[in-house]
């Protein structure tokens, strides 16, 4: 991105037409399902999550977190797609990082805090065109943050489960959740990795279903990843 004397491109002039929404419980930006997540899932802080003990209580908590992420319709809003070349996604992500740094817990994210951050961006000595677009249409950036957080939190749950010395012990409940997350493309890479690390017939059957393409339940990319894990399992004798 750079300043230039050329005509603004389609992304710079695009109006996403996202109006500011209001939560009935206060000045919150994020849906209640995200605000109510237990610590440290509400921060998506991988350093803290990786150190969590895999006690029955923590495992039940992780199961509830993924179930909420899958079942709450407020976590799948319609996010307008920026016009080509789609560089605005990267600037939204930059703004999301700034939000997470200033308001680390999901329950901390308020419109007043977002507006303060937008004012800080405006006061920069140099602001690129797409950064100006974000502060003009901050609602669109925050709407895009909802599915992004959903994906990040699901990813952290599956990564945490995979760290267990025997992840196969979670198969009776984690296989179904992992398969659903792959088909909905949230935390998909880590969900596929967990299925591959579990071993056992249930995880293998899920991977085979997910590997079907072109008309299977998963995206082409996720089906390719599932197929790769199946091949690795076959190569090392795991079924």
> Are 55 and 63 spatial neighbours (Cβ–Cβ below 8 Å)?
no
CA distances to 3, 108, 184, 202 from 198, rounded to whole Å, are 51, 36, 21, 9
pTM of the predicted model as reported, rounded to 2 decimal places: 0.92
**pLDDT greater than 70 at residue 202:** yes
Question: What are 155-198's pLDDT values in tens digits?
Answer: 999 999 999 999 999 999 999 999 999 999 999 999 999 999 99
Where are the domains positioned within the chain? 10-163, 170-239
Residue 44: per-residue pLDDT? 78
> Are 99 and 109 spatial neighbours (Cβ–Cβ below 8 Å)?
yes
Tell me what the pLDDT averaged over the chain comes to: 94
| CA–CA separation, 4 and 135 (whole Å) | 19
Q: In which element (H, E) is residue 208 found?
A: helix 201-210
**pLDDT greater than 50 at residue 213:** yes
């Amino acid at each position: 991105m750079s300043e230039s004397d050329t005509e603004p491109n389609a992304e710079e002039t695009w109006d996403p037409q996202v109006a500011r929404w209001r939560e009935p419980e206060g000045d919150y930006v994020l849906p209640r399902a995200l605000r109510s997540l237990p610590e440290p899932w509400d921060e998506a802080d991988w350093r803290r999550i990786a150190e969590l003990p895999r006690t029955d209580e923590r495992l039940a908590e992780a199961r509830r977190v993924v179930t909420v992420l899958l079942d709450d319709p407020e976590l799948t809003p319609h996010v307008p797609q920026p016009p080509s070349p789609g560089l605005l996604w990267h600037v939204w992500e930059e703004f999301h990082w700034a939000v997470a740094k200033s308001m680390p817990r999901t329950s901390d994210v308020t419109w007043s805090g977002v507006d303060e951050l937008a004012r800080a961006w405006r006061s920069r000595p140099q602001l690129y065109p797409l950064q100006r677009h974000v502060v003009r249409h901050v609602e669109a950036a925050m709407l895009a943050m909802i599915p992004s957080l959903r994906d990040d939190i699901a990813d952290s749950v599956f990564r945490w489960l995979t760290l267990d010395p025997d992840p196969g012990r979670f198969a009776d409940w984690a296989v179904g959740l992992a398969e659903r997350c792959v088909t909905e493309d949230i935390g998909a890479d880590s969900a596929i990795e967990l299925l591959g690390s579990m071993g056992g017939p249930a995880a293998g059957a899920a991977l085979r279903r997910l590997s079907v393409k072109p008309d299977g339940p998963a995206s082409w990319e996720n089906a390719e990843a599932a197929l790769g894990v199946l091949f690795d399992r076959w190569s090392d004798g795991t079924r």
